[in-house]
């Protein structure tokens, strides 16, 4: 971000916060840790007014007390000398601030943050992240495979070619070996839908142990398995063992981790060669954190795949930050429609996410609906 683009007299005039609600295209079932995720979703949005114009963006941990402090501040004072949002304002305000700047400068956010000019529109690989344990009610493995293939086919018809599959049924929801066998069968079924060019990721949400991980990977060596995510709770000794085992087999499956309450040692372990893909969340710790971390990972030859599930705003933020990270892997795409947030300028086609050449984050908000939500359940300062 070039600080020279920010006029010194631009000040925060008003901040409003409201929750917008919506639905997934299909209800999401359990994963290896918890039960049904359901269909309903929401995003907490802040509207920031500066110089008479508005910017919208996801906000986390923004309190009314912080908003009172920020209102009246110069916009430039929310940034450090390198053009990065200062730490106290990142998670609360970085998205609406960056959106406002993009709108004011008539520039997509991805152009603001990229080191070099990016061709518009930006095109980023993506994957369908919607394949949860929607089959637990089915007794027969073959019926479960049919159902999950049908769900993958729905994603394929919407333009997806890469899929992430939740695995770990035997960790909680099914008998251990029965659930593991079903995981393996569903991996093969979804791979059939994806075809030879489609990439398959599996995510156990820490429901495996090391030996189960090896069992599943060995049984899936005939599919285009790209990475295994959160196989078990982070442990450097177990990662070292898994890495050595994969090398001995010549099996080119990446190890990914970093979602949720991730170990603070993950970055160093990745630097030491124990895992390949970092996945901290795009909302917490956020966009500016990822600008810094992604640059480090690029220097070390590691891969970035920021996590985003259940937050519809984050999907689109992922696409923009890809412009600033050389080794960015995928947008994690969860098919969600939020009332009052228009994302129709984006599209998925042939496994790619097309980012519009629109100002800010390229999203349009229904001002009247947002104002109603501020009055009925939000707040304004």
Which segments within 81-197 are labelled E, that is strand?
122-131, 163-166
Give Cα 245 distance to the centre of its chain: 29
Chain-wide mean pLDDT for the chain?
Answer: 96
CA distance 138 to 143: 7
Backbone angles phi, psi at 131, to 5 degrees: -90, 85
Backbone angles phi, psi at 6, to 5 degrees: -100, 120
| Residue 89 scores a pLDDT above 70 | yes
Structure tokens at 322: 């890809």
CA distance 163 to 130: 8
Residues 132-154 pLDDT 10s: 999 999 999 999 999 999 999 99
* Neighbour-count burial of 260, counting CB atoms closer than 10 A to its CB (0-12 exposed, 13-18 middle, 19+ buried): middle
Given CA atoms 191, 260, 262, 317 in this order, what sign does their dihedral have? positive
| Residue 119 scores a pLDDT above 70 | no
- The DSSP symbol for 11 reads B
Residues 93-114 pLDDT 10s: 999 999 999 999 999 999 999 8
- The DSSP symbol for 125 reads E
Structure tokens at 327: 């080794």
- The Cα angle at residue 247 between residues 241 and 252, in degrees rounded to 5: 115
- The DSSP symbol for 362 reads S
pLDDT at 260: 81
The CATH number given to 122-365 is 3.20.20.120
pLDDT at 213: 98
CA distance 287 to 321: 7
Residues 314-369 pLDDT 10s: 999 999 999 999 999 999 999 999 999 999 999 999 999 999 999 999 999 999 99
Torsion of CA 180, 183, 184, 189, to 10 degrees: 160
Answer yes or no: CATH 3.30.390.10 is held by domain 3-108+366-380: yes
The domain locations on the chain are: 3-108+366-380, 122-365
Residues 6 or more apart whose CB falls under 8 angstroms from that of 119 comprise none
Residues 6 or more apart whose CB falls under 8 angstroms from that of 41 comprise 21, 22, 23, 24, 310, 311, 312, 336, 338
């Amino acid at each position: 971000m070039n600080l020279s683009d920010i006029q010194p007299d631009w000040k925060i005039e008003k901040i409003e916060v409201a929750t917008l609600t919506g639905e997934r295209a299909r209800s999401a079932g359990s994963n290896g840790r918890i039960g049904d995720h359901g269909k309903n979703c929401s995003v907490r949005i802040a509207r920031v007014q500066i110089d008479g114009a508005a910017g919208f963006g996801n906000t986390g941990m923004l309190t009314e007390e912080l908003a009172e402090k920020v209102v009246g501040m110069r916009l430039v004072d929310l940034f450090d000398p390198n053009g990065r949002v200062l730490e106290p304002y990142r998670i609360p305000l970085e998205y609406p601030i960056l959106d406002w700047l993009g709108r004011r400068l008539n520039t997509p956010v991805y152009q603001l943050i990229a080191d070099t000019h990016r061709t518009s529109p930006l095109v980023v690989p993506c994957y369908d992240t919607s394949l949860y344990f929607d089959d637990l009610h089915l007794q027969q493995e073959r019926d479960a495979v049919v159902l999950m293939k049908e769900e993958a086919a729905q994603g394929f018809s919407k333009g997806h070619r890469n899929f992430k599959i939740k695995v770990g049924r035997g960790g909680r929801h099914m008998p251990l070996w029965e659930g593991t066998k079903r995981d393996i069968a569903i991996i093969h079924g979804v791979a059939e839908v994806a075809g030879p060019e489609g990439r398959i990721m599996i995510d156990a949400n820490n429901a495996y142990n090391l030996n189960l991980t090896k069992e599943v990977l060995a049984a899936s060596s005939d599919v285009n398995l790209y990475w295994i995510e959160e196989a078990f709770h982070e442990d450097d000794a177990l990662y070292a063992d898994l890495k050595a085992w994969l090398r001995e087999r010549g099996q080119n499956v990446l190890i990914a981790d970093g979602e949720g309450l991730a170990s603070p040692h993950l970055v160093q372990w990745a630097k030491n060669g124990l895992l390949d893909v970092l996945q901290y969340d795009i909302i917490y710790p956020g966009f500016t954190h990822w600008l810094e971390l992604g640059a480090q990972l690029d220097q070390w030859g590691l891969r970035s795949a920021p996590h985003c599930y259940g937050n519809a705003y984050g999907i689109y933020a992922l696409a923009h930050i890809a412009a600033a990270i050389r080794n960015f892997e995928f947008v994690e795409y969860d098919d969600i429609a939020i009332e009052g947030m228009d994302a129709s300028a984006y599209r998925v086609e042939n496994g790619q996410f097309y980012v519009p050449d629109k100002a800010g984050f390229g999203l349009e908000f229904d001002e009247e609906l947002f104002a109603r939500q501020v009055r009925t359940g939000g707040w304004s300062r």
